[in-house]
Amino acid sequence: MWFSFPDFLSPGQISVLCLLACVFLTGKAIWRNYFSKLPPGPWGIPVIGAMFRLGKNPHIEFTKMAQQYGDVFSLMLGNRLVVVLNGLDTIQEALVKHSTAFAGRPQLHTFKLGNREGTSLTLSDYTPQWRLTRKISASAMQNFAKDKSNLEEKLLKECNRLVFCIKQQKGKPFDPLLTFKFATGNIILNALFGVNLSYQDEAIGRILHLSESFGKALKSNSHVDFFPFLKYLPNKSLSDFVSLMKESFDRVAEMFMQNKESYTEGHVRNVGDSFFNVLEKEMMKEKENGPVTENTHEIAPLLDDKQIISAITDLFGGAFDTSSTTLTWALAYLIKYPDIQRQLQVELDHVVGRERLPILEDLASLPLLQATVYELLRVTSLAPLSVPRSTTKETKIRDFVIPKDTMVLVNLWSVHRDPGIWKDPHVFNPWRFLNSDGELIDPKSFGGFLPFSAGRRKCPGESLALRTIPVLLATLLHSFRFSQEGLSSVYQGINLEGNFGLTLTPETFYVRIEERKKTE
């Protein structure tokens, strides 16, 4: 025979070895057959997988990997299998065509800690309770955003305060991010509960601190999600994360209950009231026609005050982060592109004049301004990988089989920087959203405009963001010029690459403010 077992092995030992060999070969065959259906991807090393390949900007590295492995690829991050989706067609197929299959949330340790016993709108898995909360939240936000007079009043008050605050920064290097956080935080609190706080108020300072600290704590503890054994080690940062979540919820709960006590049926003053109003209408429908929610689950047992408070807590965090970061990116780009800043100011002066601040009604006559906001959302891709998803069932995409409960990352950055969709995608060019007559083009007509993601997990705050951000930016440009002229070399320079995290934030930069005169 070409091969024989060593004669010092007993028949029993040989039998055991043969059995082990059969088990090994069978297991290997099953493994190969099962995982050959998975998308290809980069190799990793034991324990850490392909984590070392991600660098400080995973969205950019994933876009590069897609060129080698295709728009759907897989890799191991720590002990976790992850599938990455790139490109418009693939992402639309997954999030729209197979929306339910890709609507889950992975059971990450940080997600479990932040899920508030399954009530988080952002972190909860795809359940009947989540579906109802998402439906009510989206309706409440949209209904409030449609009430122009109510929103206008809140915006105008905050815009005046923002202008006054920035005027105090004349003549010195100014880091805009903190001021924008106060302004957007105040607008959102006012929109949610009618709360109106000064920038010096301890409450607004604490709320903003909690929101900012939450993002940092989540990022600094993300390693626990891929190396689960670390959760058993002492970790003060993880304990702080849990405490931050609780305090954020408690702060929102206090404002929610105060708002609820003063609510009058049918009279909507803010988003909190809009929640009550939408709930009343849904429960009335249910009473008249029977349960109307998916799978005929009744509303009352699924959506109590705790569920609504948790949803509003998440809505505040998302809206606050998106708005303040977008405005900060706006200054960064408009300082880098001063000609665009000047043309925006010409448009504002022509439409608004110099005697008042811009208002919501002006937006329809400010196509370049709105195009600039769209371009900012495209070029920055604020949440380049969105929030991680998971598959709710085994599903097939592009001839690959994705197992149930697989973590999925959606690379929105790859869509917004795709030269097949956008001409010169790395260039900041608001005119791509204007036609030859200077009229605004609906960004949805491009297909590849997904700053708020897509499918069942699409951001419910989109309608409010697309009203508040343009008005705030218009107010800033109507009132001031922004540059770095005259600043010392220590304060010069703007990096447009961004820092990867929950959102893609610009590195700290400083601006010089020049107040625009009424006679310009």
Binding residues for heme: 459
Other residues' Cβ atoms within 10 Å of the Cβ of residue 516:
15
Cα separation, 71 vs 67, whole angstroms: 7
Closest among 442, 488, 462, 170 to 322, alpha carbons compared: 462
242-to-441, 462, 502 alpha-carbon distances in Å: 44, 28, 17
Contact of 69 with 39, CB cutoff 8 Å: yes
Structure tokens at 265: 């049926």
SS3 of 160-194: the string is HHHHHHHHCCCCCCECHHHHHHHHHHHHHHHHHHC
> CA 313 from chain center: how many Å?
14
Q: Could you tell me which of 60, 172, 115 has the C-alpha nearest to residue 484?
A: 172
Residue pair 381/452 in contact (Cβ under 8 Å)? The answer is no
What is the C-alpha separation between 513 and 229, in angstroms, rounded? Answer: 50
Measured distance CA(389)–CA(327) in Å, rounded? 27
The encoded tokens of residue 135 equal 């439906």
